[in-house]
C-alpha cells in the first residue's frame, strides 16, 4: 500500500472560493455527486432522490455554544477565551488568546453584565495541557451555559473574516441541534432543512443521531510530514443505544449507513474501534483505515493538510478525492464551513489507495 505524507494532502485554493456566508437557503447549496463514474453537479435538495428506501442517515446532534468571550486582564490587556469544555462547579476548559499569560489566580473581567469574570486556575487537563481551566462567575450565579448564551459570541472558524452576526447565530447551527458542547458546527448537516428532512423521510429513509462535541482542534492543520507522528485532539462522543440498534437493523435489511459529516464518521468508527459507545476519542483516520460502519458520506470541502481531508481520502480513495477537489475548484464550488457539499461512497477495502 502507498505511504502517504502531509504534502500529499496540500492543494492551492483560490481565496475567493472560501465561503464567508451560507447559501440563501440551507438546501440550496451545491452538491457534488462523487458516487458516479464521473462527477455530477447537483443541488443539495436533490439528495432525497439519491438515497434508497431502507437507508439510515446518521446525524451529529451537537449544539454549537456561543463559546467566544472577550475581556481584559487587571492591567488592561485584552484577552479572548474560547471555551472548549464545560467542567463541574462553574469551571470551564478554554483556549486563551492574550499577549502575556496571566498568573494562576488572576481574575479576568469579561464583557457582559453582572460583573462577569473568569478566574484562572491553571492548565487543563494537566500542567502540559493546551487548554486553561477557569471559574466563570457573575452576580446572579449563572452556570457557564447560561453565561455563554447571554454574553458569548458564535465561534466562527478562523477563515471567516466577519464578526459574528444574527445570521451566524441561526445558520452556524443545524436545525436539529440538541446537546450543547461544540465550538464548531458539524458543517455537512447545516444543509438540511425541515422540508428536505420531510422528503427524505417520505422516501422511506430512516434517521438516527450521535453526538460528538466538535473541538477547535478540527481547524488545526496536521504539521508532521510523517502522519504517524501527528497527535489528534480529543473530542467527546456518544452513540445512544437506539442508534446502535438502528444501525444493526439497517445492515440486517441491506440498507446503507449514510454518515452526515466527518464528525459522524469519527463517532461511529470510534465506537467500532474501541467497543465503547461513549467517551473521548482521538481517532485519526488516514488512507488504509478499515471502516466498519459507514457506507456513504455526505461532507463539505475541507482545508488543505487537515485531518478531515485525510479522512475523506481514506473513505473514498485518495486519487478520486483529489480529482473531485480539482473538479470542484474548476466549477467554482464554495469551500469550508459555509460552503457546498459532496456525496461519496466508500471504496472497496481492497481498492488501491
The residue extents of the domains of the chain are 6-64+168-345, 68-151
* Whether CATH 3.30.930.10 fits 6-64+168-345: no
Confidence (pTM): 0.95
The whole-angstrom separation of Cα 152 and Cα 65 is 8
b/e string for 262-289 if b means 16 or more Cβ within 10 A?
bbbbbbbbbbbeeeebeeebebbbbbeb
Structure-block grid coordinates of residue 162: 466577519
Cis peptide before 186 (omega within 30 of 0): no
Q: Phi and psi for 179 in degrees, rounded to 5? A: -105, 110
Q: What CATH architecture does domain 68-151 belong to?
A: Beta Barrel (2.40)
The whole-angstrom separation of Cα 76 and Cα 20 is 32
Within 8 A by CB and 6+ apart from 339, the residues are 17, 18, 19, 29, 187, 300, 301, 333
- Residues 175, 185: contact at Cβ < 8 Å? no
The predicted pLDDT at position 350 comes to 53
Count Cβ atoms within 10 A of the Cβ of residue 152 and give its class: 0-12 exposed, 13-18 middle, 19 or more buried.
buried
Strands 68-72 and 78-86: antiparallel
Ranges of residues in the chain with a pLDDT under 70 are 349-353
The whole-angstrom separation of Cα 351 and Cα 353 is 6
The whole-angstrom separation of Cα 323 and Cα 6 is 18
Helix residue spans in 10-78 (DSSP H): 47-50
The predicted pLDDT at position 219 comes to 80
Q: Which of 343, 22, 26, 20 is nearest to 175 (CA)?
A: 26
The predicted pLDDT at position 143 comes to 95
The predicted pLDDT at position 341 comes to 98
| Cell 488592561, residue located | 76
The predicted pLDDT at position 165 comes to 97
Q: Which of 343, 173, 318 is nearest to 258 (CA)?
A: 343
- The distance of Cα 27 from the centroid of its chain, to the nearest Å, equals 18
Strands 107-110 and 68-72: antiparallel
The predicted pLDDT at position 127 comes to 79
Residue range 239-284, pLDDT digits in tens:
999 999 999 999 999 999 999 999 999 999 999 999 999 999 999 9
The predicted pLDDT at position 349 comes to 62
The predicted pLDDT at position 128 comes to 80
Amino acid at each position: 500500500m502507498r505511504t502517504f505524507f502531509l504534502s500529499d494532502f496540500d492543494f492551492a485554493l483560490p481565496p475567493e472560493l472560501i465561503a464567508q456566508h451560507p447559501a440563501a437557503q440551507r438546501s440550496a447549496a451545491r452538491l457534488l455527486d462523487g458516487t458516479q463514474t464521473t462527477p455530477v453537479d447537483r443541488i443539495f435538495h436533490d439528495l432525497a432522490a439519491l438515497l434508497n428506501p431502507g437507508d439510515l442517515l446518521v446525524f451529529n446532534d451537537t449544539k454549537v455554544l456561543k463559546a467566544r468571550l472577550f475581556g481584559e486582564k487587571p492591567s488592561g490587556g485584552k484577552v479572548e477565551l474560547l471555551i472548549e469544555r464545560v467542567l463541574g462547579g462553574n469551571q470551564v476548559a478554554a483556549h486563551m488568546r492574550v499577549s502575556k499569560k496571566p498568573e494562576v489566580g488572576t481574575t479576568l473581567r469579561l464583557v457582559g453584565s453582572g460583573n462577569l469574570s473568569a478566574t484562572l486556575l491553571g492548565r487543563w487537563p494537566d500542567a502540559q495541557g493546551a487548554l486553561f481551566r477557569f471559574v466563570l462567575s457573575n452576580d446572579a450565579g449563572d452556570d457557564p451555559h447560561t453565561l455563554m448564551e447571554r454574553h458569548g459570541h458564535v465561534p466562527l472558524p478562523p477563515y471567516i473574516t466577519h464578526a459574528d452576526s444574527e445570521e451566524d447565530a441561526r445558520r452556524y447551527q443545524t436545525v436539529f441541534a440538541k446537546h450543547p458542547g461544540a465550538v464548531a458546527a458539524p458543517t455537512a448537516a447545516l444543509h438540511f432543512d425541515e422540508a428536505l428532512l420531510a422528503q427524505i423521510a417520505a422516501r422511506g429513509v430512516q434517521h438516527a443521531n450521535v453526538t460528538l462535541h466538535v473541538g477547535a482542534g478540527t481547524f488545526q492543520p496536521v504539521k508532521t510530514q510523517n502522519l504517524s507522528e501527528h497527535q489528534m485532539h480529543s473530542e467527546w462522543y456518544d452513540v445512544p443505544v437506539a442508534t446502535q440498534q438502528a444501525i444493526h437493523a439497517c445492515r440486517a435489511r441491506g440498507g446503507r449507513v449514510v454518515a452526515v459529516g466527518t464528525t459522524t464518521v469519527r463517532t461511529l468508527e470510534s465506537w467500532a474501534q474501541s467497543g465503547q459507545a461513549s467517551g473521548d476519542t482521538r481517532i485519526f483516520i488516514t488512507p488504509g483505515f478499515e471502516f466498519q460502519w459507514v457506507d456513504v458520506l455526505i461532507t463539505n470541502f475541507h482545508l488543505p493538510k487537515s485531518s478531515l481531508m485525510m479522512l475523506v481520502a481514506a473513505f473514498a480513495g485518495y486519487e478520486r478525492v483529489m480529482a473531485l477537489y480539482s473538479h470542484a475548484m474548476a466549477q467554482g464550488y464554495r469551500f469550508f464551513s459555509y460552503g457546498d457539499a459532496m456525496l461519496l461512497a466508500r471504496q472497496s477495502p481492497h481498492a488501491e489507495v
